Structure 1
């Protein structure tokens, strides 16, 4: 039986005097509230709803947004911790739903444990459903949680690694800005540790600090309230920031998030070429997926080859072939934050491993290196990420089991495709993915099929941008470039014949003829670089390492090469299947 009630009241001074209830629940009791207008919503918590509403009504920003209604959530069992938790829960859901623009500042979403939290959390779901029935949410809870708006929201609840890293980054950044010194920061972590979350969160947090005024009272319970006081906003006056995202699909998704977030704008999400061409320098550039910045190599279009030359000449006075997009970022900004994982480099044009090592070493020497260790994506935890990488590098010493993770091995591709469709029907966001081990025939002939195995015919992804959420994606196979940086609930990974196993030597090898990504194996004649099979093996195993770590709830595996199938079966084929 629910103990909460949601009171729907007008948001104006005329009715404020009638709000105080005899039992004191509006003036001396912890509550959560949502104030909304036609397109905006603000969520808060307070011990005195009457006083807090009066403060909001006196706020010019709230008046400008024309917020006309308030819903106060009252529960006889509420305490401060439960209210903070519900507040952060609703902020995340409103941001992920997209029905309203969330007006809250990003001071740090609370994610602390407290007594009987599981029981309160069950109530939160009921509160969401009532608010949805009243028209405040457009989508169901699973639809919201599967959306990019939710996954890439700046209103995420940070884990301890992320919170510590962001606080340290802010302290160092403000100190450097005050001294007039530049800085280079590296945030490093495995897949699923939330590097992209840190980048987006920082952009919103810094913008909120920048736009803060003395009239904005910061909540003392927020993680970063210390930066919303006099002195910090002044340091960010006229501070020019940008988020650099090398990958086209992820960049488009983040632009959509910025479009819906007050204080942010899609123009703040940049390509490396836009950074290089910028007439004005940036004060701060945050680079997501920094390992996907490129060195001088043959670009995907002739115009980009010319642009690479022109930018390098403009910034450095000559067409220096050793210059990379990393050099562009550093030349065009006073401060840089690089988010990276060197094991996710998937093409020869990506920054060389040595360059990434030097960048990390530099950050360590200046104490500006922040590792993220906590696994936020895969339910199997960080051990699964390490396990996958050890298996693909031939360094797995033993077979591990992951009882809470749905890891399955298939000998029939049609059976795996059926299982993925079943998971998609159940929870959504289940997709088939693969390395580029088949020619992309359907790109030129829409009637053609690209992958034909075990009586099933499949096509590569038709969409280059936001393929995961596109109509028909469940019937297609996504490449590395459509899923890197994204989460899936379930990933059905087809390991093609580009990766094989040499039974006689006992190690993995690459089959160059079965790898169809021309840019993925192209030599670099301009710099005299020739990529050997060992080099190509590193890129191909990195690709499969990324694909095998996309699934939050589970990963299904099908292997084409018979010898590789038997080798990988021992590692991926004996995991206990959890109850769905």
Structure 2
């Protein structure tokens, strides 16, 4: 692998330097874990944080230290313990297993998806000591027989089988009903056990100003179009396009210059898991959706995926240098207002909104479905380290975004 392809491994490397806050957090979790290893009840440590706040790098170094002690330090409380790193995302799992291949204290078998681990433990009638769970908001919270999960909740099942559980959680990255989580639903479980919480706030991934990040958050959380901050382009390449094909060409140029630059899109375009190609079309723009990735290399690091459109399922959890984001048909502007509306009938991700037996109120269901659509946009918005380019399918929203861009004193991309 070259430098470009090594980006995800480098980002999650346990050797990465931590900030003072992150290092103190790792030490606090280690102290908490030691204190509960031999307790009568499981204990849980939850790290809350938005996308890009450094949650995963904390877990990577934490797990490396636990496994080093478990396998090498006979004086440590962790010596001889059995521990697993769990993540319910196949693309991210590939990165962790690649890291394990280069670290003598880490084995690839230490890293697992939750369903495989739970079923494997049950088959062997085994329990273990410490579970470190990345992207806990992706854990299943209902049975999924298609994927061989027959219990009601993956977090509950992992708690039954481990002594200490450390999780990271972001309510704004919940994307499917079968993985429905809210802070309230999470705490209904964690409050039953000795537990501790920590909140990470600082954005590490994006070099954007705090004001621009706040603008993104108003868009997603308040469904509101606010004036762009005057520093939206300070140390960050932020652009709004009226032409999706022009945006694609700019992303191709960024990819040729620095690599790891991709086109991403929300749902709202034809997409079926039938092995065929399904295209997103916007004027002169025409590109196929991402294909299922059978390789050990994450989708975002495959050179050929510059010719595909990435989805939330291939880019979540990854850093990209530049992103060109298509805001699809499910999100439009209400005429005569600065407010956004969610068009549930235009959402084409059929897996996202499958019914749950514990949800029957239509208003509650609609609110959750709308929130998940905006969460999917949040995942895309928070990917670009050095730059984010936007294009909107809805003509009114597209015009308004371009107006906001020029009103903030910026030239349109076609003028640059």
TM-score, structure 1 as length reference: 0.64
Q: 1:209 aligns with which of 45, 64, 69?
A: 69
The change in CA–CA distance for 1:383 and 1:179 in structure 2 (over 3 A counts) is: farther
CA contact (8 A) 2:267 2:347 kept: yes
Could you say which residue in structure 2 is the equivalent of 1:377? 205
CA contact (8 A) 1:186 1:360 kept: no
C-alpha distance after superposition, 1:553-572 (max 9, x if no partner): 00000001012223444556
Could you say which residue in structure 1 is the equivalent of 2:16? 156
Could you say which residue in structure 2 is the equivalent of 1:468? 300
Q: 1:284 aligns with which of 130, 140, 150?
A: 130
Could you say which residue in structure 2 is the equivalent of 1:565? 398
The change in CA–CA distance for 1:432 and 1:308 in structure 2 (over 3 A counts) is: same
3-state SS, counterpart of residue 518 of structure 1: coil
CA-based RMSD of the aligned residues comes to 2.8
CA contact (8 A) 1:510 1:533 kept: no
Kindly indicate whether residue 396 of structure 2 is the aligned counterpart of residue 555 of structure 1. Answer: no
For 2:396 and 2:178, the matched residues in 1 are separated by 31
C-alpha distance after superposition, 1:144-179 (max 9, x if no partner): 7x5222122111110122111111111121122265
For 1:571 and 1:248, the matched residues in 2 are separated by 38
For 2:140 and 2:257, the matched residues in 1 are separated by 39
Describe how 1:490-505 pairs up with structure 2 within 5 A.
490-504=322-336
CA contact (8 A) 2:42 2:159 kept: no
C-alpha distance after superposition, 1:244-293 (max 9, x if no partner): 10111111221121122211111111111123221311211011101111
Describe how 1:265-276 pairs up with structure 2 within 5 A.
265-276=107-118
Q: 1:349 aligns with which of 165, 169, 178?
A: 178
Kindly indicate whether residue 240 of structure 2 is the aligned counterpart of residue 409 of structure 1. Answer: yes
The change in CA–CA distance for 1:183 and 1:532 in structure 2 (over 3 A counts) is: closer
3-state SS, counterpart of residue 228 of structure 2: coil
Could you say which residue in structure 1 is the equivalent of 2:45? 185
Could you say which residue in structure 2 is the equivalent of 1:534? 367
Describe how 1:503-514 pairs up with structure 2 within 5 A.
503-504=335-336, 506-514=338-346
Could you say which residue in structure 2 is the equivalent of 1:243? 85
The change in CA–CA distance for 1:452 and 1:396 in structure 2 (over 3 A counts) is: closer
CA contact (8 A) 1:487 1:550 kept: yes
3-state SS, counterpart of residue 433 of structure 1: strand
Kindly indicate whether residue 332 of structure 2 is the aligned counterpart of residue 486 of structure 1. Answer: no
Q: 1:165 aligns with which of 20, 25, 47?
A: 25
For 2:404 and 2:158, the matched residues in 1 are separated by 41
Shift of 1:517: 0.5
CA contact (8 A) 1:185 1:369 kept: yes
3-state SS, counterpart of residue 264 of structure 1: coil
CA contact (8 A) 1:407 1:575 kept: no
3-state SS, counterpart of residue 348 of structure 2: coil
For 2:225 and 2:330, the matched residues in 1 are separated by 21
3-state SS, counterpart of residue 352 of structure 1: coil
Task: Flag structure 1 segments of 5+ consecutive residues without an equivalent.
Answer: 1-96, 98-138, 215-229, 313-322
C-alpha distance after superposition, 1:470-515 (max 9, x if no partner): 2421111011000000000001000110111222565322222321
Aligned length: 401
The change in CA–CA distance for 1:432 and 1:160 in structure 2 (over 3 A counts) is: same
The change in CA–CA distance for 1:445 and 1:178 in structure 2 (over 3 A counts) is: closer
Could you say which residue in structure 1 is the equivalent of 2:157? 328
Kindly indicate whether residue 4 of structure 2 is the aligned counterpart of residue 143 of structure 1. Answer: yes
CA contact (8 A) 1:161 1:373 kept: no
Describe how 1:426-437 pairs up with structure 2 within 5 A.
426-437=257-268
Farther-moved stretch of structure 1 (499-508 vs 354-363): 354-363
Could you say which residue in structure 1 is the equivalent of 2:354? 522
The change in CA–CA distance for 1:243 and 1:575 in structure 2 (over 3 A counts) is: farther
For 2:275 and 2:262, the matched residues in 1 are separated by 23
Could you say which residue in structure 2 is the equivalent of 1:477? 309
For 1:570 and 1:265, the matched residues in 2 are separated by 53
For 1:171 and 1:426, the matched residues in 2 are separated by 45
The change in CA–CA distance for 1:532 and 1:329 in structure 2 (over 3 A counts) is: same
C-alpha distance after superposition, 1:19-72 (max 9, x if no partner): xxxxxxxxxxxxxxxxxxxxxxxxxxxxxxxxxxxxxxxxxxxxxxxxxxxxxx
Kindly indicate whether residue 260 of structure 2 is the aligned counterpart of residue 419 of structure 1. Answer: no
Kindly indicate whether residue 149 of structure 2 is the aligned counterpart of residue 308 of structure 1. Answer: yes
- Relative contact order (alpha carbons < 8 A, sep ≥ 6): 1 or 2 greater? 2
3-state SS, counterpart of residue 440 of structure 1: coil
Q: 1:338 aligns with which of 156, 167, 189?
A: 167
Could you say which residue in structure 2 is the equivalent of 1:60? none
Shift of 1:383: 4.5
- Flag the structure with larger Rg: 1
C-alpha distance after superposition, 1:501-536 (max 9, x if no partner): 222565322222321100112222576575744322
